[in-house]
Amino acid sequence: MPSAGRSSTVNSSRAPVEVGEGGFARNLIDTLRDGEVNALGARLAAETGLPLRELLKLTR
């Protein structure tokens, strides 16, 4: 049994799923990344009191 905070070993014996040029996988990764970026932006905006647009200006 894996301990708390650790992920178990991934079963790599499954055959890869082929979906038209990898479009599904690419779109899924983009969607997940966008969600993570949006969540981080919301968290930073809440912590700093600045809107995300202002935070982005500070990094340029």
Q: How far is CA 58 from CA 11, 17, 46, 52, 53, in A?
A: 43, 42, 16, 10, 9
pLDDT at 19: 58
1-54, pLDDT tens digit by residue?
444 554 445 555 666 655 566 778 889 999 999 999 889 989 988 998 988 787
The answer, as to whether pTM is greater than 0.75, is no
Rounded distance, CA 36 to CA 54, Å?
Answer: 19
Rounded distance, CA 59 to CA 55, Å?
Answer: 7
Task: Select the more confidently predicted residue: 49 or 60.
Answer: 49
